[in-house]
A and B are shown apart, each in its own frame.
Chain A
Amino acid sequence: MRRRDLASIFLTAVPITAQTTATTAPDDLTTARERVRAAGAELAKTAVPMATEPAFQFKAY
């Protein structure tokens, strides 16, 4: 089972309740998912040369 499947099962069974201190609460999960999708789209806009490897062994320099 993939993570996204697990997440959707969890969210189907247990809806996220509204933020109690907010007067109006948008659909938190929909907004958060949109943010994730938008981040992917934003990253895709920037071209990176094939030779640029991910910074797995990250060190500051």
Chain B
Amino acid sequence: MKPNFPEEFFYLSLAEIQAKLRAKEFKVKELTEAWCDRLENRGPKYNALAHSLRKPAMKAAKYHDKDFKRERFRSPLHGIPYGAKDLLSYAGHPTEWGAPPFKGQVFKEHAKVISKLEGVGANCIGKLAMVELAGGGGYRYPNASSTGPGLNPWDVTRWSGGSSSGSGAAVAAGLVPFALGSETWGSILTPAAYCGVTGLRPTYGLVSRSGAMALSWTMDKIGPICRTAEDCGLVLQVIAGGDNDDPGSAGKSFYYTPEYVRPFSEMRIGWNPADLDAVDDPAVRQALREAVQLLLKLGFQVKEVKLPDLPYSTVASTLIGCEMASIFEPLVLDGRVRQLVDKNQAAGIVAATEYKATDYLKAMRLRRVIQEEMGKVFDGVDVLISPSTAGVATPINEPLAGIAGRGRLPLGAAGNVAGLPALSLPCGFVRNLPVGISVVSRAFQENLLLAVGKQFQAQTDWHKRRPPLPA
């Protein structure tokens, strides 16, 4: 008899789903079919699905069932379905980067992260929608994608964030147990915050980008978007690791061991109250204040910090602009740039070819200064906290503020320029829309971030809330 999966089943953590698989409550094939049905039926309601991978996923599920029958368990992710941002290649199936000029593009090999997940038995069931070319040219509207604007499961008149729009929406709506996203500047933390899920931006170089679309070689990172911090740790443990095919690889592995971090009472949180000035909505400010108070209750000492006065956003936009101009130069030369959905983005890519070499060099030199200054900030604190975004999800027909609507919070630009990891946690709701807070640490301190996240989520239930059923 076909198992019945109730609505709440699709919001379980990875460990809970895995426990049910090991208890043989259902087969991997049945589980995969149920998630595929859900992703295919509901994904289009949020413009979250780029391509279904039902066929290869169902084929893989049969092999996983044989493993489970013999009680051969490969990992905590064995048999668990997931979705991948359409920026990651999946062999023999379309990888279109959300952009009309790349419609029908197919690669011969999986991206390294997809191969790694396949190796431990996780099952990719779909490619998830994204802002075209990850939005590096600076898009004006959320509809800058061949799949349309990413719609927020909490309110479909609102944006799901970008550029990992489908990844954020699909996890929030329970269409996949976890997803892979990527961040160059805000593309994991923003959709995670807007959709009320947990997003981890790993340290630059910790996760291989081999097989991923490049937007900025020195700033691109791939990371998980999940329901909980614990789930992010389980996924990161699999996808992290050195890779000779990625010149930016740090050659480091990651083992999820949050239990070994120092007691929180011995640690300091850095917090700049002025960050709240960037948040216009008083209700959002209040939610963030309460989240800070809760972190203090976990035992942390708090220290007010102010980032040094440096042009973080300009350095970030210059690095991305110059590298993007080189990467997408063929698109400008052959005129395909005109096929992009968002004309502001097309103009941004064309204009970026006019950056001067000295601009790029200056930005790269300032990046070193920023790294050194961030190192000094972390001499006095263990983690920094900041709003993930300057407010709740914006209406889909509203022009995005600033360059590609990126939050103007300095820690977002500084953290990405310095390659530091960050974790966005749901920390409240305002008018039924999620609010997110970010925790940032020194490079390669992901276990510390995840320990903070795990404790925070043990004290709150924001991450357990479910959006309304789609119309």
Give the interface of A toward B (CB within 8 A). 3-4, 6-7, 10-11, 14, 16-19, 21-22, 25, 28-29, 31-33, 35-36, 39-40, 42-46, 48, 52-56, 58-61
Expressed in whole angstroms, the Cα–Cα distance for A29 and B342 within the complex equals: 12
Expressed in whole angstroms, the Cα–Cα distance for A46 and B373 within the complex equals: 14
The reply to whether A52 and B365 contact each other, CB–CB distance below 8 Å, is yes
Contacts of B367 in A (CB 8 A): 54-55, 58
The reply to whether A6 and B315 contact each other, CB–CB distance below 8 Å, is no
The reply to whether A48 and B420 contact each other, CB–CB distance below 8 Å, is no
Closest beta carbon of chain A to B447's beta carbon, Å: 16
Given A11, A28, A36, which contacts B343 in the complex, CB threshold below 8 Å? A28
Of B138, B350, B351, B361, chain A has the most CB atoms within 10 Å of the CB of B351
Q: Can you show 16 pairs from A to B with CB atoms below 8 A apart?
A: A10-B332, A19-B140, A19-B343, A28-B344, A28-B346, A33-B351, A35-B351, A36-B354, A39-B314, A40-B358, A46-B310, A48-B362, A58-B364, A58-B419, A59-B250, A60-B204
The reply to whether B443 and A36 contact each other, CB–CB distance below 8 Å, is no
Q: CB of B263 within 8 A of chain A?
A: no
Known: A36-B355, A61-B375. 6 other contacts (CB 8 A): A4-B353, A11-B350, A16-B343, A36-B351, A60-B419, A60-B444
Contacts of B338 in A (CB 8 A): 14, 16-17
Query: Taking chain B's interface residues, is the majority helix, strand, or loop, or is none over half, making it mixed?
Result: helix
Chain B contact residues (Cβ within 8 angstroms of A): what range? 35 or more
The reply to whether A29 and B351 contact each other, CB–CB distance below 8 Å, is yes
Expressed in whole angstroms, the Cα–Cα distance for A25 and B140 within the complex equals: 10
Q: CB of B333 within 8 A of chain A?
A: yes
The reply to whether B348 and A32 contact each other, CB–CB distance below 8 Å, is yes
Q: CB of B399 within 8 A of chain A?
A: yes
The reply to whether A42 and B311 contact each other, CB–CB distance below 8 Å, is yes
Expressed in whole angstroms, the Cα–Cα distance for A55 and B320 within the complex equals: 14
The reply to whether A19 and B342 contact each other, CB–CB distance below 8 Å, is yes
The reply to whether A60 and B361 contact each other, CB–CB distance below 8 Å, is no
Contacts of B193 in A (CB 8 A): none
Expressed in whole angstroms, the Cα–Cα distance for A19 and B141 within the complex equals: 9
Given the contacts A3-B353, A10-B335, A58-B218, A48 and B250 also touching, CB distance less than 8 Å = no
The reply to whether B368 and A22 contact each other, CB–CB distance below 8 Å, is no
The reply to whether B347 and A31 contact each other, CB–CB distance below 8 Å, is yes
Which 7 pairs between the two chains have the least Cβ-Cβ distance? A60-B419, A54-B364, A32-B351, A28-B347, A60-B443, A32-B347, A29-B347
The reply to whether B362 and A44 contact each other, CB–CB distance below 8 Å, is yes
Contacts of A6 in B (CB 8 A): 332-333, 353
The reply to whether A60 and B364 contact each other, CB–CB distance below 8 Å, is no
Closest beta carbon of chain A to B190's beta carbon, Å: 20
Expressed in whole angstroms, the Cα–Cα distance for A6 and B285 within the complex equals: 47
Expressed in whole angstroms, the Cα–Cα distance for A43 and B365 within the complex equals: 10
Closest beta carbon of chain A to B124's beta carbon, Å: 28
Contacts of B203 in A (CB 8 A): 60
Q: CB of B369 within 8 A of chain A?
A: yes
Closest beta carbon of chain B to A41's beta carbon, Å: 9
Contacts of A46 in B (CB 8 A): 310-311, 362, 366
Which A-chain residue is minimally distant from B333 (CB atoms)? Answer: A6
Expressed in whole angstroms, the Cα–Cα distance for A53 and B110 within the complex equals: 36
The reply to whether A10 and B321 contact each other, CB–CB distance below 8 Å, is no
Contacts of A52 in B (CB 8 A): 365, 368-369
Chain B 123-160 residues near chain A, CB threshold 8 A? 137-138, 140-141, 143
Contacts of B363 in A (CB 8 A): 43
Contacts of A18 in B (CB 8 A): 343
Which A-chain residue is minimally distant from B399 (CB atoms)? Answer: A22
Given A3, A43, A56, which contacts B315 in the complex, CB threshold below 8 Å? A43
**Chain B window 439-462, contacts with chain A (Cβ cutoff 8 Å), 1 for yes, 0 for no:** 000011000000000000000000
Contacts of B253 in A (CB 8 A): none
Expressed in whole angstroms, the Cα–Cα distance for A40 and B317 within the complex equals: 11
The reply to whether B325 and A3 contact each other, CB–CB distance below 8 Å, is yes
Closest beta carbon of chain A to B131's beta carbon, Å: 15
Q: CB of B422 within 8 A of chain A?
A: no
The reply to whether A43 and B141 contact each other, CB–CB distance below 8 Å, is no
